[in-house]
Structure 1
Amino acid sequence: MPERTARVPLWAALLCSAAGGVLFDGAFPDHYWWPLVFPAVALLLFAQQGRGAWSALLVGFVGGLAFYISDIYWTALYLGPIPWLALSITEAAFWAVGALLYTLAYRWVPRALPGVFGRVVALPLILAGLWTLRELQTNHWPFTGFAWGRVAYTQSASPFTHLVAWVGVSGLTFLLVWISALALACVQEAALRPLTRGFIPVITVLAVAAVPSWPSAAHGTTRVAAVQGNGPAGYFQKHAYGDVENAQLAASLPLLGKGPFSMVVWPEGAADANPLQDSSSASALSALSTALGAPLVVGAITQDGAKTFNSSLLWSGFDGKTAQYDKQLPVPFGEYIPYRSVFHAIAPGLVDLVQRDYTPGSRPNVFDIDGIKAGISICFDIIDDRQIPQMINGGAQLILAQTNNADFGQTEENVQQLAIARMRAVEADRAVVNISTVGTSQVIAPDGHTIAAIPAYKPGRLVADVPLSNGITPAVRLASAIELGAATLGGAGLVGCLVLVLAQRRRRPADAPADGVSQDAARYSMAGRP
């Protein structure tokens, strides 16, 4: 791609991109400044206009790095800066490739589709599709991907939250980026009157926000108890065998006499003395279940021969384990080390910290708890788009999100994950019981509001009448089709515009201007083309 005159100098584009990345982080919890997503995305896109290939990659990399370093600093709490920087740099590299595509869109679309239509209608749609395509890639590859930091996750407490039930997380990302790109295009479009430039983005935002909420299919409730033991559950915290389970047991005792409950939910890894192998642990769980008159849903680390699983167990006082779900998507470099020997040669001290590799599970992620169907999510399961449709197709009437946030201390990680759980509740029209070892633990209604909560970093329990739902939202029904459709619009739109540009060049008379840009497109101020 030959070098082109940039809209702004490279140093200014780098500053704009870095500022956009930091602003983008500000839109996420615990800041909750959700409106920042619009100027953040606009700045990031503006910085890509009119660049050459290498400067486009550099500008995009700086924006991605500024975002991830700000957003996931909590990964360095116990492991130090190397994993934090390595993950940030890797994700920023993917971000940079996406940014190059935005630069190509700013170059090719106005040439292929000259006029206001191409610059104000087609271009923002293609840019939104390309952003969705970049998120699709990072959500799934490499390994199981890293779905943190998606645009839609900024909107867990905004006027746009309800849209996720219609279009899903990827669809909401598409809409938010489209609005941002449209606003930027209108501001920069010289062919529009000043009043029109402001009117189009404002009316678009109002129209999108005015889409009615999906009519919930919630009917009836079930009484659920959940326990946050605040035990020493961190991987690097000093504790003796069974300390986490003992903390959970102690925090559960005040529930005696407060029933009846349909279930009592403990967090991920709460039974650190594996009840499938430790008879004392099994006896304690059975005694608690019998005393409470309810089955327990308990996180535990289990083994099957040489395989180790991050599991959730359904435990009855009379029958012991009656169901088991094993986490299907263990977190790479957190719950297992891919290509362990290769990475051990690079960073042996860090790789040795992860002493066991969890095996991906294959059991269904739905428990039948005395006739109530509960979808089971373990920690980062809640982030992956593949898990929710599987639950709903299995008949889940509510979602139990068991997690252990102890390794991230009192950082933003737990509220970022809680925000994702809130989005999933609305997306699936299912109440979510988000129970953590240390917090933040809440019961979230299908419309996203908080029903009950436990103060973070303190032992506690909650009891709530949790709504049950049986309906299927458009987001769940269409699932990956929305994401693939948006991504295809971006990718195919960009390729289609390239084909049109090449065709125009072949038809161009010998004495035509070298760049083949029409007078109308030459007035286009967004890309600063010669």
Structure 2
Amino acid sequence: MSDSPARPRPILPLWAATIAAALAALLMNLAYPETAVWVLAFPAAALLLVSLIGRRAGGALLVGLVYGILLFALLVSFTARYLGPIPWIALSVVEGGLTALALILTALAYRWLPRALPGTSGRLIVLPVVIAALWVGREVFVGTFPYGGFPWARIGMSQAESPLAPVSSWVGVSGLSFLMVLIVAMLIEVVRLGAWRRPLRLIAPAVLAVVLVATPQFPTTPSGSMRIAAVQGDGPTGYFDRREPFSVIDAQTEATVPLYGEDVDLLVWPEGSLDADPFQNEALARRMSLISTRIGAPLLANAATGRDERYFNTSMLWTDAGAERRIHDKRHPVPFGEYVPDREFFALLAPDLIGLIGREYTPGRNLPVVDVDGVEVGLAICFDVIYDDVITEGIGAGAEVLVFQTNNADFRGTDENLQQLAFARMRAIETGRSVVNVSTVGTSQIIRPDGTTVAHLDAGEAGAMLEDVELRSGLTAGVVLGPWIQQVLVWGGLGALIVAWWRARRR
């Protein structure tokens, strides 16, 4: 093929492009846990991009809908576990629709950029850079809109078990997403231009591939250790679980008893580990104080709390002296799970389902850290682990270790807990911090700063983990530069697309 501008016509007919998009969704889903074949993210991205090349807006929308809806339907099928197909279908359609809208921009970039910059460097370097930047922009868009977004399907997060994960400690998860898609987009252009016949044109993708595989983790500084106990009670913490008064704290206490007499600096219980608000329930508060006394360490627990006529999902540090107002409220309550946005409207569409959500949680505003004997412990409650701002703010506040408390009881028997655990592992690598990820029902793990596992408890297994957890200080480049890189990619991709449109029109 020549180096002249590619004609703005599709590589694949529309029927074949929709099949390719569906296959891309299947492969991308397999890149995430439970299967976790991380390398499949690359052919998945390639199939999606090839199906968009040359498409007009309407065709790109159809291709994007097939990919987006199918991907989310597979990836978040756990949402149908108890509430049936309606929430699952609704979430898949909304997230898939937003994905499709954003992918129109990728199709337009493939139409405009080869005409705006018809040379070889434009095709082999500039076009892939813009395509990869637009991919990140799409992930940011879906992860922030609407109602705070749902950044669950970021391609960078699929690499928790891969040798590419350390790259996130240099450029953040969005930067890793960018580099992954960049190498895919470069290889597509190498094939389209027949550039393999000229080996010098393969230097850029070859160097990028080597960098991705060979990049070491950004160093952080060991600053001591903390002996942390994490308890998975496997109690009746699901939304529809039948329970007696104090049955949840009973399960947590029973699993904690073997730790009595051990040397412990911090005892961690998961999200939803208390049956009620201990600030308003004296009996529960006394039991927590007794447990803290017997274990000889503060207890980090979690419950729904009420303050100023509002409800919060709150983690609190409790000592043998009782309540200490060292708390953190969940930053991103789950729409249609922990609160209902625009309740009156959605109650008209599904009154029975909306009626199940009686409590409206308020987003927290306090720092995601608690001080434990002079050590700052960074926190993220359940799905907050997927939001960059919570993690970055905790590390910026001096967190030397991260604790993620979650309740996966509503998703028993699905791979939701493994997906969330993979995100926790990526956070350990990205930040250079140890992570204690503890669930009510599993899977729970203590993870080293390099992403390897120290201890674990399987799903459905009551028990406790006790380890000397390494503390680290210092900020990785991923924490410092990651948010800036993300913004540069988002706005740079959009700006490049506008310039390409203007230059293409002039030509």
- Is the CA contact (8 Å cut-off) linking 1:300 and 1:312 kept in structure 2? yes
Equivalent residue, structure 2, for 1:263: 266
2: CA distance, partners of 1:289 / 1:283: 10
**Contact 1:378–1:401 (Cα < 8 Å) also in 2:** yes
Tell me the TM-score normalised to structure 1 length. Answer: 0.92
Please give the per-residue CA displacement for 1:13-41, whole angstroms capped at 9, x wherever unaligned: 10001100111111001111000011000
Asked if 1:103 is matched to 2:107, the reply is yes
TM-score normalised to structure 2 length: 0.96
Q: Which residue of 1 aligns with 2:359?
A: 356
Amino acid in structure 2 at the alignment position of 1:417: Q
Partner of 1:241: 245
AA matched with 2:321: F
From 463, 468, 478, the counterpart of 2:466 = 463
Cα distance between partner residues in 2 of 1:162 and 1:396: 20
Q: CA deviation at 1:142?
A: 0.8
**In 2, are the aligned partners of 1:428 and 1:472 still within 8 Å (CA)?**
yes
Task: Give the aligned length.
Answer: 501
| Residues 1:72 and 2:76 are matched in the alignment | yes
How big is the shift at 1:341? 0.7
Gaps of 5+ in 2: 1-6
Gaps of 5+ in 1: 505-530
Q: What letter corresponds to residue 224 of structure 2 in structure 1?
A: G
How far, CA to CA, are the matches of 1:453 and 1:211 in structure 2?
28
Which residue of 2 is the match for residue 164 of structure 1? 168
**Cα shift at 1:6:** 2.6
Q: Does 1:391 align with 2:364?
A: no
4+ aligned runs moved over 3 Å, structure 1: 194-203
Asked if the contact 2:169–2:218 (Cα under 8 Å) also holds between the matched residues in 1, the reply is yes
* 2:211 corresponds to: 207
Checking the alignment, whether the CA contact within 8 Å between 1:389 and 1:479 is kept in structure 2 is no
Could you list the per-position Cα deviations for residues 179-229 of structure 1 after superposition, in whole angstroms to 9, with x for gaps in the alignment?
Answer: 111111112213551766777544431222212221121231110001000
Aligned residues of 2:196 and 2:202 also touching (Cα < 8 A): no
Q: 1:525 matched to which residue of 2?
A: none
Query: 2:479 and 2:206 mapped to 1: Cα distance?
Result: 29
- Tell me the SS of whatever aligns to 1:352: helix
In 2, are the aligned partners of 1:179 and 1:204 still within 8 Å (CA)? yes
Rounded Cα–Cα distance in structure 1 between residues aligned with 2:81 and 2:118? 51
CA drift of 1:65 comes to 1.3
Residues 321-356 of structure 1 deviation map (CA, whole Å, 9 limit, x = unaligned): 341111121111111000111110111011111111
Contact 1:218 1:429 in 2 (8 A): no
The partner residue of 2:488 within 485, 498, 502 is: 485
SS at match of 1:221: strand
Q: Is the 8 A contact 2:56 2:108 kept in 1?
A: no
Structure 1 stretch displaced more, 176-185 or 14-23: 176-185
Q: 1:402 aligns with which of 373, 395, 405?
A: 405
1:473 paired with 2:476, answer yes
Matched, 1:146 2:150: yes
- Give me the whole-angstrom Cα distance separating, in 1, the residues matched to 2:195 and 2:24: 27
Aligned identity (percent) is 44
CA distance in structure 1 between the aligned counterparts of 2:63 and 2:274, rounded to whole angstroms: 47
Q: 443-452 or 208-217, which moves further after superposition?
A: 208-217
Give the Cα separation in 1 of the matches to 2:364 and 2:219.
Answer: 34
CA deviations on 1:389-408 (whole Å, 9 max, x unpaired) are: 21122111111100001111
Match of 2:332 among 329, 334, 349: 329
Distance 2:161 2:222 in 1: 21
Q: Give runs of aligned pairs for residues 52-131 of structure 1, distance below 5 A.
A: 52-131=56-135
Secondary structure in 2 matching 1:95: helix
* Structure whose CA Rg is larger: 1
1:21 partner letter = A
1:440 aligns with 2:443: yes
1:188 maps to a residue whose letter is R
